[in-house]
Amino acid sequence: MGYCKNKEIEEALSLYSEMLSKGIKPTVVTYSTLFLGLFEIHQVQHALKLFDEMQRNHVAANTYIYTTFIDGLCKNGFVLEALELFRAIRNSNLPRVGLMADVVTYNIMIHGLCNDGQMDKAHDLFLDMEAKGVEPDCVIFNTIMLGFIRNNETSKVIELLHRMDKRNVMPDASILSTVVDLLVKNEISLNSIPQFKSQRNQIEFEETARDYKANGVKLLSLITGTALL
């Protein structure tokens, strides 16, 4: 199945048909490779058809298959179809294989919704994730923060920071960068940032934020040639 790496999907599909004609049952690896190739060349309808065929052939999909498929749909602009598949799995309309416990899959779906500007659905999925007992990590927090920023809802970033504090999740470098960017643009204030449970980490966070803001303002001043207060 190395054909897919070179986008020679037609040859790969021909090989797949030959396997079926000889009575060789395709595996989840076969299908995941074909899905990757089809999505890479934007053959979404063909991928959907192959997905149905996989189920008819009684090949039990695993978490990787579902994650690959949802990611491929999102990247090709079929976000609602990806969400429909996600919900079908959650509602047990498809075989459950532990997908709903996969933080990576949640992040892919939330990222797809954020990029599509569907922040209400992204936030609802974020809440659903918490309700299902799946712990959101810094990647998911940063993904949804950036989505709210693109949607001009910076106040929601502060809410998410407080939610992180409540869950005792310390901001990583990517979230710090996001927050500092808002500080430099004066879209949020340092006082609005929550007091994280670890005092030492909070002090380090605030000191780093102040330093980044000061350097960011200086850098913007040099770029724009204006004095920024």
Query: Could you write out the DSSP letters of every residue in 133-200?
Result: TPPP-HHHHHHHHHHHHHTT-HHHHHHHHHHHHHTT----HHHHHHHHHHHHTTSS-GGGS---S-HH
Q: Which helix (H) or strand (E) holds 29?
A: helix 28-40
Percent of the chain at pLDDT above 90?
Answer: 41
**Which pLDDT score, from 0 to 100, does residue 57 have?**
87
- pLDDT-derived band at 12 (thresholds 50, 70, 90) equals confident
Mark 19-44 as b/e (b = at least 16 C-beta within 10 Å). eeeeeeebeeebbbbbbbbbbeeebb
Q: Are 15 and 3 in contact (CB under 8 A)?
A: yes
Is 164 within a domain?
A: no
Residue 87 lies in a domain: yes
Q: What is the pLDDT of residue 119?
A: 95
Per-residue pLDDT tens digits for 108-122? 999 999 999 999 999
Q: Note down the domain range covering 54.
A: 43-136
Q: Does 93 map to a domain?
A: yes
The count of structural domains within the chain is 1
Q: Using one digit for the tens of pLDDT, what is the confidence trace for 58-99?
A: 888 888 888 899 999 999 999 999 999 888 877 654 554 445
Q: Token pair for residue 152?
A: 């001009």
129 falls within a domain:
yes
What's the whole-number average pLDDT of the chain? Answer: 81
Assigned domain for 60 exists: yes
Amino acid at 46: H
Q: Is residue 229 part of a domain?
A: no
In a domain, 78, yes or no: yes
Rounded-to-integer distance, Cα 44 and Cα 23, Å: 26
The verdict on pTM exceeding 0.85 is no
For residue 220, pLDDT beyond 50:
no
pLDDT digits (tens, 9 = 90+) for 178-217: 888 888 887 888 788 887 655 445 555 556 556 655 655 4
- Asked if residue 25 has pLDDT above 80, the reply is yes
- Please report, for the domain that includes residue 123, its CATH number: 1.25.40.10
Predicted confidence (pLDDT) at residue 228 exceeds the cutoff of 90: no
Q: Is residue 71 a part of any domain in this protein? A: yes
